Structure 1
Amino acid sequence: MTGFEITGASAADMGLFRAWADEEGWNPGDSDRFAFMVADPAGFLVGRVDGEPVACISAVRYGAGFGFIGFYIARPAVRGQGYGIRLWNAGMERLDGRLVGLDGVVEQQANYRKSGFRPAWNSVRYEGAPGDEHGDGDGDGDGRGGGVGIVDAASLPFGQLAAYDRRFFPEARDAFLSAWVGLPGRTALAAVRDGRIEGLGVIRPCSGAFRIGPLYAATPEVAAALLRGLARHAPGGVVAVDVPDAHPRAAALFTGLGLVPTFEAARMYTGPAPELDLAGLYGVTSLELG
């Protein structure tokens, strides 16, 4: 491995990460990298051979005790030569002493087990244009019945959004969340009842189906209302949502609305799974950063 070095990623490298992930069929968001860098600017590593980028990984720190691994890619031409594992070890070293999570594609899950990761649940990607056969339970199709209103999330105090997000993620991630919901080209909607947030969803442009994540909701009816509202901002209404199978009502909702499974990854942790509000988690934020 003469000439191999590991460095922090530059802004240009982050563009490569996105392109490589797209080639892997992961359909990353067009602007995700801008929010990712805000989360932990030093959390993205690139492996180079004689100055040429050949592999990447993210090892992002959240708070004092949690970390997340993502973007683990070695270019096809260099696979099997040991570059990927050296980069993996560098990423894990950066997260030493923390509970670490990742979303592992099926073909890599055995390797992650060897590194001490254990599955907690699967994320199943559902894609399609949501239909109306189940209705949204409020009689008017937009989530405004029953005292629930669907509003622009940007109209709410950010502290309220951040506190709500903490129910579904192990650590505070305010800087990331602020960028994630506010980047140009995105739409963020919140469900509000009597001044309380009862749902949140963000849709973002991708090279394939527009991705929705996170999608949080107090009930399936609120989730359906948010899903339909967000889908109006996607070409042809076609969207993709990564749905935890630990929440069976979520999978039933998306199936009932006509979406079909197209991709699967396992949420895995190096220790006990953190306590999250899985009953309200209808779609994870990002497979790269949790």
Structure 2
Amino acid sequence: MTGLEIAAASAADMEMLRGWAEAEAWNPGDTDRFAFAVADPAGFLVGRLGGDPVACVSAVRYGDAHGFIGHYIVRPDLRGRGYGIQVWNAATERLAGRLTGLDGVVEQQDNYRRSGFRSAWTNLRFEGVPRPAGDDDGGDGGDGAGVETVDAASLPFARLAAYDRRFFPAPRDAFLSAWTSLPGRTALAAVRDGRIEGLGVIRPCAGASRIGPLYAAAPEVAAALVRRLAGYAPGGEVSVDAPDVNPAAAALLAGLGLVPSFETARMYTGPAPEVDTAGLYGVTSLELG
């Protein structure tokens, strides 16, 4: 356990860490690392032994009072030797004094509870090819009940950022700007009478293309966004991490023919922040919230 050096990840490290996440079957986005880097340039930590990376974690600061931990991985051949707890402690120290969240895999949740985290909700990942509009899925026929879906880039960014703040407890403008505009991604907004009533972003991955965030004023709006976004996915296969704090999210995705494949828990070090959970159909990122 001695000799571990912990420092902020380099650009080359971020590419390596994507490979680690893929090996864990987390299906990371092909370009997520570029948005992660601008969210907090010092927010990803790597532990090294003799210069060789052995463990990593994200500890991203948002604003003055919020933080998020994720991407907690120890190299499989070096697990059980105490390296993970050392990078974990470095992460919690970096976020000391902040309300900190994470999305924890099932096998780690007891450890997180021992570190003071408490469950706020469960995220259930749904995957598959959405049924077409008009199938017997309880949907709205695909028109989103009169909303128009537009390229999110056609709207003033300040409006998108303000809308995002309804669903996330801190400003994250730099991250959001990159997340919605990186090459290969598609960001669609649902608009009605000039108001934003939904937002969805799809990004390419090694497996199913992932949609996140997925915000919507109503299930039919979310359904319209999912169907439109699936048109940008190879084979139409998509993946959404749906929070059970909004029961309509799981019901909608199951109705579209998607099936559960993976589970995490959103946990916080204090009371869960107040956000518009009724409009939250898919979380943005398990690494950054």
Pick the TM interval, shorter chain. Answer: over 0.9
Cα pair distance change 1:135/1:235, threshold 3 Å: farther
Q: Deviations over 1:103-150 (max 9, x none)?
A: 00000000000000000000000000111323642x5x243x52x101
Listed as ranges, the matches of 1:41-120 within 5 Å are 41-120=41-120
Q: Which amino acid aligns with 1:107?
A: E
User: Partners in 2 of 1:232 and 1:160 — Cα distance?
Assistant: 25
Aligned sequence identity (%): 75
The answer for the alignment partner of 1:9 in structure 2 is 9
User: Partners in 2 of 1:22 and 1:217 — Cα distance?
Assistant: 29
* 1:134 to 2:133 alignment: no
Q: Deviations over 1:169-189 (max 9, x none)?
A: 000100000000000000000
The answer for the alignment partner of 2:261 in structure 1 is 262
User: Partners in 2 of 1:86 and 1:240 — Cα distance?
Assistant: 32
User: Partners in 2 of 1:103 and 1:227 — Cα distance?
Assistant: 22
Count residues with an aligned counterpart: 286
The answer for the alignment partner of 1:152 in structure 2 is 151
User: Partners in 1 of 2:62 and 2:233 — Cα distance?
Assistant: 31
The answer for the alignment partner of 2:125 in structure 1 is 125
Return 5+ residue gaps in structure 2 as ranges: none
Contact 2:39 2:174 in 1 (8 A): yes
User: Partners in 1 of 2:63 and 2:3 — Cα distance?
Assistant: 35
* SS class of match (2:266): strand
RMSD (Å) for aligned C-alpha atoms: 0.9
Greater displacement, 226-235 / 127-136: 127-136
Q: Deviations over 1:64-114 (max 9, x none)?
A: 000000010000111111111010000000000000000000000000000
Contact 1:142 1:229 in 2 (8 A): no
* SS class of match (1:120): strand
* SS class of match (2:91): helix
Query: How big is the shift at 1:250?
Result: 1.0
Q: Which amino acid aligns with 1:262?
A: S
Cα pair distance change 1:136/1:151, threshold 3 Å: farther
TM-score (ref. length: structure 2):
0.97
User: Partners in 1 of 2:54 and 2:92 — Cα distance?
Assistant: 19
Query: How big is the shift at 1:2?
Result: 3.6
User: Partners in 1 of 2:234 and 2:253 — Cα distance?
Assistant: 19
The answer for the alignment partner of 1:246 in structure 2 is 245
* 1:206 to 2:205 alignment: yes
Query: How big is the shift at 1:217?
Result: 0.2
* SS class of match (1:249): helix
Return 5+ residue gaps in structure 1 as ranges: none
Q: Which amino acid aligns with 1:134?
A: D
Query: How big is the shift at 1:3?
Result: 3.1
* SS class of match (1:224): helix
Contact 1:136 1:222 in 2 (8 A): no
